Copies of this chain bind each other. A is one copy, B any other.
Amino acid sequence: MENTLLKVNRERLLETLKVSSSIGPSGNGGMNRLALSDADKNMRDIFVDWLKEAGLDVRIDDFGNIYGRRKGKRNDGPSVAIGSHLDTQPCGGKYDGILGVLSALEVIRVLNENDIETEYPVEVINFTNEEGARFSPPMLGSGGITGNFSKDFIYGIKDDEGISFEQALNEINYSGSIQNRITNVKNFIELHIEQGPILHEKDITIGIVQGIQGNDLYTVKVTGKTNHAGPTPMENRRDALVAASKMIVKVNEITDEVQGLKTTVGKVNVTPNVTNVIPGEVEFTIDIRHEDNDLRSHAFERLKEQLSAIALMSEVELTITTDWNSETTLFSSVVKDAIQEAADEFGYSKMDLFSGPGHDAKYMAGVSDTGMIFVPSVDGISHNEQELTIDDDIEKGANVLLHVVQKLAEAK
């Protein structure tokens, strides 16, 4: 292929990222650009200008998703879509999904200046409210166009101040037409920072994402008996916290039994939570992740038995409720192979890995052959003002994205 070593313009890409970093800075080197905020509007306006300057046909859909379309030879054919999201957490980083959107723009710029025609159209996408920090749940823009959430549901979601998604969308003037939703998609490729330590620790540049790990969330309620710490002998106690602590240790230990299993107890509420009162009730959550759906549910069944045994021994009651079960999303071999080939062409180090967190690609995988490229986050830090992906890795990730687009859109 003649364009094998075509590369992105590193300085231009870094400069574009720098402009983004100046819109909604959080003051400590990070970002505060909540979805549909004034800062998000400013970023969108500039982004739309950039898309237009790149000669793209710009559309806004009814969720505020922004598309910039570059014609293909088969212009009625399905498009190769690339992008991510420009919104951030309230104390978020400068890279995260921003890297994916602005690298996608850079890919277009490179195709343009090299007069490269593609068989299929290429579309750059900025999805609305990926973070879920302002409007929960996350990934509303991609979830909306793929039918994972209804329009009524999304429009009705309110932020902490009671402002609905619909209001906020209208206020920043980014409510477009339902006709503008992307529908005919051949591939979706999302470049993103890893948000974990694996690539950084292994000193590997390109993560070939195999899919999004399934995860289940449960709430465990342990009920014992509230009593005064002073007079109550140890043998009379039914201490919900001691029992819950044994369970939390067990939740952690089960990961020794199943390779790759991740369990997290992130949230604990103790009642009444007073220094001299034996806790009568403890609620805690279990977040459990593994890419193998069967293994994951099998591990949880085993864990349930172990927790029940602790409850029995501790004379406490145990109830476990399922908050959600989210199956593993597997990405397309076509895209994974293209990423691998591109990395090999450049001689970049690479490895297969799964994504723990969800991404817009999770929903796009339901309507197209989808994949993701990860680049390293220094020390695995993300959703944090200290988040950092070094310039070399940014450039390399964008180069891989460029080549994947060339392959999948059939550049000539």
Contact = CB atoms under 8 A, between A and B. Distances in A.
Interface of A: 194-198, 201, 213, 215, 217, 227-234, 236, 239, 241-242, 244-246, 248-249, 252, 255, 261-270, 273-279, 285, 287, 289, 323, 355-358, 380, 382-383
Nearest to A288: B229
B287 A275 contact: yes
Contact of A230 (B228, B236, B239, B356): B356
Nearest to A278: B264
B357 A230 contact: yes
A230 B213 contact: yes
Q: Which 9 A-B pairs have the closest CB atoms?
A: A230-B356, A196-B231, A229-B264, A231-B356, A245-B245, A245-B248, A230-B357, A275-B285, A242-B252
A254 to B, nearest CB: 10
A196 to B, nearest CB: 3
Contacts of A249: 242, 245-246, 249
The binding surface of chain A is classed by DSSP as mixed
Contacts of A252: 234, 239, 242, 245
A241 B266 CA distance: 8
A285 to B, nearest CB: 4
A45 to B, nearest CB: 31
A248 B241 CA distance: 8
A241 B270 contact: no
Given A196-B228, A239-B264, A268-B273, 6 more contacts: A195-B230, A198-B233, A217-B275, A239-B252, A244-B245, A264-B278
A249 to B, nearest CB: 5
A252 B287 CA distance: 26
